[in-house]
Chain A
């Protein structure tokens, strides 16, 4: 009896020192690698990136191992993801954008896999790190800008000059257009990062509530968590989709320039 009381007291005492919800985002170094003085350590983030890449590769290869005319379920899923991204590129960029389809597909599947892997308990959410999402967004931004200049040369700058506007307004509008163009990588990366981080922080906070409130009151936050987990899985899909489709839209701007 004394032991049980002590345990209960311990649990209640924990309420004053709830687990830090940001703890889950900490980078842990599993393997210290420092080639040429650069920190290339194998971290928990790297581990989940490797897992995601392996899962996607295994899934696509396993699904297509039989090359069935009438697809099995897993082959069907692979084909649906292919068609889904292919249609996204075709609808938003047109057939001329199909040469960038492998990149968009990789981007979509990679972000989706990282988001979904993050939903597993005790896992690490790579996309909850701004540096990762910013690197992806910056790569997309630089690539798209480069494609625009290669395709249209200096005329690409016309993208910042809206048509049918009084000349007096032009300086102001060009400045606004340039700023909105330059903030694209920021908004693209922050959208994904913030969604992931906020969702996982929420889950952690409510998880701590469940433990803190114990058997009597813990049911309410637990019920909320069940619903919220479903929402987070939806967000995982949605954010991967948004990331991919915005990349398509930026690519379309660079290729066709109809602003």
Chain B
């Protein structure tokens, strides 16, 4: 077994120390810091991006909340305005109706008064005619002209029946 030849050990050990020592130095002070900084930079970048994404998401949620609040407020206001309008319209309608009703009532009352007046005047005329006719009838029948107040009394009594 060539491995067990002690004469070959010294050169192998010496070159092992040289190459391993140099490689260790190069790795420790050159290569590994480079790779390590690369990985750290990337992780920092990813962390920063994630944080930014989180912040944006939070901002979006806030914006959505604000929008929804504004929408709710607007809806409420619209509702109030509509309600107000409805009440106002109702009041106007009521007022108009009242005005019309009073006007109609006035007209009705006026007309009724006029009818009443016409009726009474007509009745008076009827009474006068009835008195004259009754006096004429009585005169023709018995040839005696009755006194006017008696006839008027008799006519009024007959009308009362």
In this complex, what residue of A is CB-closest to B36?
A82
A157 at interface by CB-CB < 8 Å? no
**Closest chain A CB from B18 CB (angstroms):** 8
Which B residues contact A (CB, under 8 angstroms)? 1-5, 7-16, 19-20, 22-24, 26-28, 30-32, 34-36, 38-39, 41-42, 45
Interface size class of A (residues with CB under 8 A): 35 or more
A141 at interface by CB-CB < 8 Å? no
**Closest chain B CB from A54 CB (angstroms):** 9
Contact A106 B14 (CB under 8 A): no
Q: How far is the CA of A232 from the CA of B9 in the complex (A)?
A: 26
- Residue numbers in B under 8 Å from A38 (CB-CB): 10, 14
In this complex, what residue of B is CB-closest to A193?
B3
- Residue numbers in A under 8 Å from B15 (CB-CB): 40, 42-43, 45-46, 49-50
Main SS of the interface on chain B?
Answer: helix
Contact B16 A135 (CB under 8 A): yes
A228 at interface by CB-CB < 8 Å? no
Contact with B38, one of A56, A75, A101, A132 (Cβ below 8 angstroms):
A75
Contact with A135, one of B13, B22, B24 (Cβ below 8 angstroms):
B13
- Residue numbers in A under 8 Å from B39 (CB-CB): 79, 82-83
Contact A103 B42 (CB under 8 A): no
Contact A43 B8 (CB under 8 A): yes
**Closest chain B CB from A35 CB (angstroms):** 9
Contact with B42, one of A25, A45, A56, A69 (Cβ below 8 angstroms):
A69
Per-residue contact bits, chain A 82-96, to B (CB 8 Å; 1 contact, 0 not): 110000000000000
In this complex, what residue of A is CB-closest to B7?
A39
In this complex, what residue of B is CB-closest to A63?
B35
Contact A103 B34 (CB under 8 A): no
Residue of B11, B20, B34 with most partner-chain A CB within 10 A = B11
Contact B20 A106 (CB under 8 A): yes
Q: How far is the CA of A72 from the CA of B40 in the complex (A)?
A: 16
A27 at interface by CB-CB < 8 Å? yes
- Residue numbers in A under 8 Å from B4 (CB-CB): 130
List 9 A-B residue pairs with CB atoms under 8 Å apart, sorted by A's residue number: A43-B12, A46-B11, A50-B15, A69-B42, A102-B28, A110-B20, A132-B12, A132-B13, A135-B16
